[in-house]
Amino acid sequence: MADTFTLGGKEFSSRFILGSGKYSMELIRAAVEQAEAQIITLAVRRTNTKENENILDYIPENVTLLPNTSGARNAKEAVRIARMAREIGCGDFVKVEIMRDSKYLLPDNQETILATKMLADEGFVVLPYMYPDLYAARALEEAGAAAIMPLAAPIGSNKGLATKEFIQILIDETDLPVIVDAGIGRPSQACEAMEMGAAAIMANTAIATAKDVPAMAEAFKNAIIAGRKGYLAGIGRVLERGASASDPLTGFLRD
């Protein structure tokens, strides 16, 4: 049986969600292809009439668009941005992102829960970016989220799984897919999150700030596949102390 996961009734075999910020449109296509990503995030901004380049022309057609609500400081603004994104006409997926803190860009869980409820009620497939808090995760589940997207570390920091223990709690204690978002800086960190049982990884800056963008996209793809396989295989136990030989303990030459 194929190992897939479902969001809003859509089945995905790729567990790599790619952000499209911070790099050129030409590289977006190459990165999506190398990543084999089936979901890509976009932002909504005021249109500049002088700019004729449309990012949608650089994204393969079979890829699901996940617009985010970046720039929203409260639930009301996030709902407005989500409605505009849907009106552009590329589906009803939305990543709710609400932050008032401009230094660490931490998500406001309270407002995120409110926006998730409003948007889920309007028929959106809502993926909220959140601070990894169990009560917030349960409230988001109740509000109708299709998955939760806890942060590994501050956005764009490439610092890795700083919130590892708390993400593990979310994976263990909620029924929603957990998509680890923000802060993942290296393939090994994406792999580790997948070994923990994450449903998928979202990455942008790690790819965009690499020397070779398409090659890093491919490296992440492979790391995510490896981590997922490791999780499904069941990670071996860790000894508290001592050692346990893997070689046979009989038949030594000196016997």
Partner 1 sequence: MVQINGKMEKASGVCLLDYLTQAGYNLVGIAVERNEEIVSKADYDKVFLEEGDVVEVVSFVGGGSR
Q: How far is the CB of 70 from partner 1 (least distance, A)?
A: 4
Beta carbon nearer to partner 1, 21 or 197: 21
- Give residues 164-193 in contact with partner 1 (rule: CB under 8 A): 181-182
Q: How far is the CB of 191 from partner 1 (least distance, A)?
A: 19
Largest CA distance in the chain: 84
Is residue 202 within the footprint of partner 1 (CB under 8 A)? yes
Give the contact letters, 37-76, x = binds to partner 1 (CB under 8 A), - = no: ----xxxxxxx-xx-x-xxx--------x-xx-xx-----
CB under 8 A, 24+ apart: contacts of 54-62? 55/20, 55/25, 55/28, 56/90, 57/25, 58/25, 58/26, 58/28, 58/29, 59/20, 59/28, 59/29, 59/32, 60/29, 60/32, 60/33, 62/38
Q: How far is the CB of 218 from partner 1 (least distance, A)?
A: 18
Name the catalytic one among 95, 159, 211, 221. Answer: 95
Binding segment toward partner 1, per CB under 8 A, in 8-16, 21-29, 139-147, 246-254 = 21-29
164 is an active site residue = no
- Give residues 215-234 in contact with partner 1 (rule: CB under 8 A): none
CA 134 to chain centre: 18
Spell 65-92 as b/e; 16+ CB within 10 A means b: bbbbbbebebbeebbebbeebbeeebbe
Which position has the token pair 């230094």? 103
CA 133 to chain centre: 16
- By the criterion CB under 8 A, which residues form the site for partner 1? 19-23, 25, 28, 41-47, 49-50, 52, 54-56, 65, 67-68, 70-71, 80, 83-90, 97, 99, 105, 129, 155-156, 181-182, 202-205, 208
